[in-house]
Amino acid sequence: SQKIEQNSEALNIQEGKTATLTCNYTNYSPAYLQWYRQDPGRGPVFLLLIRENEKEKRKERLKVTFDTTLKQSLFHITASQPADSATYLCALEGRYGNNRLAFGKGNQVVVIP
Amino acid sequence: GAGVSQSPSNKVTEKGKDVELRCDPISGHTALYWYRQSLGQGLEFLIYFQGNSAPDKSGLPSDRFSAERTGGSVSTLTIQRTQQEDSAVYLCASSLETGQETQYFGPGTRLLVL
């Protein structure tokens, strides 16, 4: 069966350190993978997209890697700040041809001042 | 506002009643998506519209769920004879067109079925 797995335990990290989140998937061949941020009571907000032929993508303090052999993406927040505290969702496009996304359950990050 | 809007923001209803949830996508966005997020669960795809047509309804959990989109803009998700397991946050997203990967989400409608 198809699965998208993110760590269910919250990641508590000291301000200024790098937070690293993992997204593992099974029985998908995604054309691309996205990361979204979700704050309590709000809808997800798009952060980054990485395509199957890309190894790494950066945006400001964010970095995403994509390993299609390991079927894994890593999401890094460098120099983390308390404002980065949120839940981060991994989403895959499953080649349906309509950008239908399959989401992981998300991983909460808490940045401690 | 330029973002996706949804109404109502919260809805409490009794089991067996029908509810209608509304989504106003970003102006000019031709693709529209409905998802459901239950407590502790990931987002679950429900239905996708390209213009007014729904080529992919495969995510609708039962025939009590239906959706329509008119004028290539506003969409309504209707749940008939609501059940307690329908309680969730219903999220709408839009994108400029199929093939534009970024989806812009609304704030969601929190539905509680008593």
Q: What's the confidence (pLDDT) of residue B1?
A: 53
- With beta carbons under 8 A apart, name residues in chain A contacting B98: 97-99
Cis peptide preceding B8, ω within 30 of 0: yes
Strand partners, B79: B19, B65
Q: Which two tokens stand for residue B52?
A: 């007014």
Grouping H, G, I as helix, E, B as strand and the rest as coil, residue A82 is helix
Predicted pLDDT at A97: 59
- Is B27 an 8 Å CB contact of chain A? no
Ranges A20-24, A36-40, B93-97, B108-112: which has the least confidence: B93-97
Q: What number is the average pLDDT over the span B83-99?
A: 90
The pLDDT assigned to B99 comes to: 62
**Residue B97: is its pLDDT beyond 80?**
no
A67 or A100, greater pLDDT: A67
Q: What are phi and psi of B74, to 5 degrees?
A: -65, 140
Under a CB-based contact definition with an 8 Å cutoff, are residues B90 and B36 in contact?
A: yes
pLDDT for position A98: 62
B1 touches chain A (CB under 8 A): no
A99 contacts B45? CB cut-off 8 A: no
Residues in contact with A20: Cβ distance below 8 Å, sequence separation at least 6, in sequence order: A74, A75, A76
| Distance (Å) from the alpha carbon of A28 to chain B's nearest alpha carbon | 16
Residue B96 banded pLDDT, cuts 50, 70, 90: confident
Which chain A residues have a beta carbon less than 8 Å from that of B53?
none
What's the confidence (pLDDT) of residue A2? Answer: 85
pLDDT tens digits, one per residue of B41-53: 889 999 989 888 8
Torsion angle of C-alpha atoms B15, B20, B21, B25, degrees rounded to 10: 160
Is the pLDDT at B55 greater than 60, yes or no? yes
Q: How far is B17 from chain A (nearest CA, A)?
A: 25
pLDDT of residue A94 exceeding 80, the answer is: no
- Give the Cβ contact number of residue B37 at 10 Å: 22
With a cut of 80, say whether residue A1 has pLDDT above it: yes
pLDDT of residue B39: 84
pLDDT on residue A79: 98
For chain A positions 30-89, those within 8 Å of chain B (CB to CB) are: 32, 34, 36, 41-46, 49, 89
Q: In angstroms, how far apart are the furthest CA atoms of chain B? A: 40
Chain B residues within 8 A of A91 when measuring between CB atoms: 43
Q: In the prediction, which pLDDT does A90 show? A: 96
Are A78 and A61 contacting, i.e. CB atoms less than 8 angstroms apart? yes
Please, are residues A42 and A108 in contact by the beta-carbon 8 Å criterion?
Answer: no
Mean pLDDT computed over every residue of chain B: 92
Strand order across the beta sheet in which B65-69 lies: B5-7, B19-24, B75-79, B65-69
Residue A96 contacts B, CB cutoff 8 Å:
yes
Nearest chain A Cα distance for residue B41, angstroms: 5
Q: Mind listing the pLDDT tens digit for each residue in A18-41? A: 999 999 999 988 889 999 999 999
Using a CB-CB distance cutoff of 8 angstroms, which residues of chain B are in contact with residue A39? none
Q: Which residues from chain A sit within 8 angstroms of residue B56, using beta carbons?
A: 96, 98, 100
Mean pLDDT of B2-20: 96
Is the CB of B107 less than 8 angstroms away from the CB of A4?
Answer: no
